[in-house]
Amino acid sequence: MSLSFLFTGTLAYSDLESSEMTHSDMTHSDKSDKKAQYIPPLKQLKLVDDLHEVTCKDGQHLVFKKDVWSPACVYEDSIAKLIERGWADKHDPTHMDMTMMTPSSAKENNESTVDSEMDVADLTENITAIEPNSVEFFYYPEKPKSEKPDTFKLFMLIRLPEWMGGDADDPSVFRAYSAKSLDDACIVKYWSDQGRQRIENPCQGAMYRVVDGAMTTGMIHRSVEMTALPYLDLSINEESGLLYVEPPTFSKTENGVIGYGRQISFDDFRAGSEFLIESFAKAYPEYPSIPMEFAGYELSEIAPGDSRVDISYLDFPDNSGRISMAISKHSVGTMHTNMVQFNPEVWHVGSTNDVHHHNSKTIRIGGTALDPQSTASELFRTYEIRFKNNDDGFYYAINGKNLEFLKKEIIKNYFPDHDYNDMVLVSKPAN
């Protein structure tokens, strides 16, 4: 499904995408008439003595950005959402409030004061909405004036994959992230391939999930709690159908700092993980539920494929240790988890009376951590665990380091009728 609305002038696209752009067919006089009828809120500040005198178009209401009291005009059904997101405040600022913190002082706080929503008359170029699971690049707050582009103003506009709800006619299916790498001169890019669908730095290998821009692979900025890509909030004008940018606050704890990143809290990271779990359950109801935590690690990524799903867990917030899991509809032989130990440990959960292991609950453990001939360093020595859950019919492959934690988590999530003490060692590899 393709949306019918257009992007406003604040989303100024680079010349690389000029082949996909169409020019506005409004006449010069039409544009002049439109401009004469309405002045954007921040431009009105030069004409009024009191912020409360800023006027809005018919059907819109005046609100103020929380803490800095910059004015904005929004539709009534957007006010509650802006308050809920912490962008606007229920409090109506007094003259004293606005004297203490006014939009003119926002520049000192590294906040953009560019008006977010431009009238369609201001457009010189526009582009139709992008398809689900795709990306376009644009510059914000304006297109470069020189031939040498400023990568600190380059952003990606990403429409989420369909399994994440990207086919909905809603601005929430879009993400706008800075395309400037956080630790080198590279430009990051969104990869839409099935089983990938993430943002990557092609130079040094950092990876970010598309749902919130949180870093899932990389060792940069270890002094901060968690690093994510800077972003822009997007809204839609319900009347005109235009997608536009909310005025950002470029600080480490809000929209982020271009070229440095954004500190993402544990609660925000978990909220993104919950979104992934709920989206996957809705799109793939035949699969078993995916745990939010596994062996003390937090869910970070879900990557569905044709017949399997790959899942990653992080040691939050250090972003050092990780656990990977694959759930497949077919036998474990079709999975690529590198069971290097040819004679693995075999465990039964519960009864071991069936010598042929028919319909038994069997867990096989191998990997470099059990291979005495492995030359891998201790940092990279991991356990490979495989089993089939007869209750749901799926095959599982899990890779991680702490074996006892992994076994306990497997029993808890996939053999809930048993406990850890029900595991019986049947055979172990010969040294």
The pLDDT tens digits for 349-403 are 986 555 554 446 899 999 888 887 777 777 778 999 999 988 888 999 999 999 9
Given a cut of 60, whether residue 222 has pLDDT beyond it is: no
Residue 277 lies in a domain: no
Residues 345, 420, single domain; the answer is yes
In a domain, 192, yes or no: yes
Residues 301 and 412 in one domain: yes
Same domain for 319 and 191: no
- Choosing from 64, 84, 114, the residue where a domain stops is 114
Highest mean pLDDT among 31-40, 234-243, 407-416: 407-416
pLDDT over 90 percentage in the chain: 35
Stretch 149-170: mean pLDDT:
89
* 272 inside domain: no
Identify whether 173 is part of a domain: yes
The answer on 106 and 158 residing in a single domain is: no
- For 173-197, the pLDDT digits (tens) are 889 999 998 878 889 999 999 889 9
Top pLDDT among 45 and 397 is at 397
pLDDT score recorded for residue 286: 95
**Does 274 fall in a domain?**
no
Q: Check pLDDT > 70 for residue 310.
A: yes
Copy the structure tokens of residue 55. 């006027």
Q: How many domains does the chain fold into?
A: 3
- 131/242 same-domain check: yes
Q: What is the pLDDT of residue 92?
A: 65
Per-residue pLDDT, averaged over 235-260, amounts to 81
Residues 141 and 156 sit within 8 Å (Cβ to Cβ): no
Burial 203-219 (b: 16+ CB within 10 A, else e): eeebbbbbbbbbbbbbe
Give strand ranges (E) for 20-59: none
Last residue in a domain, options 114, 142, 175? 114
> Phi/psi at 12 (nearest 5 deg)?
-90, 115
Nearest to 199 by CA among 135, 128, 292, 124: 135
Same domain, 94 and 208: no
CA–CA dist 75, 78 (Å, integer): 5
Domain shared by 292 and 415, yes or no: yes
Q: Looking at the predicted structure, is the pLDDT value of residue 42 above 80? A: no
Whether 191 and 248 map to the same domain: the answer is yes
- We report the CATH number of the domain holding residue 258 as 2.102.10.10
Mean residue pLDDT of the chain comes to 75
- Is residue 177 located within the same domain as residue 203? yes
pLDDT band of residue 23 (cuts 50, 70, 90) is very low
Does 373 share its domain with 233? Answer: no
- Would you state the pLDDT for residue 62? 83
User: Over 80: is that where the pLDDT of 32 sits?
Assistant: no
| Enclosing domain of residue 242 | 1-35+120-264
Same domain? 45 vs 30? no
**223: in domain:** yes
pLDDT for 168 beyond 70: yes
Query: What band does 34 get if pLDDT is binned at 50, 70 and 90?
Result: very low
Q: Using the predicted structure, report yes or no on whether residue 77 has a pLDDT greater than 50.
A: yes
Distances (CA, A) of 145 to 14, 205, 347: 11, 31, 66
- Assess whether 67 and 167 both reside in one domain: no
pLDDT tens digit string along 299-308? 999 999 888 9
Distances from the Cα of 241 to the Cα of 117, 231, 238, 398, angstroms: 12, 22, 5, 46
Q: Flag whether 281 is in a domain.
A: no
Question: How many residues appear in the chain?
Answer: 431
Identify whether 269 is part of a domain.
Answer: no
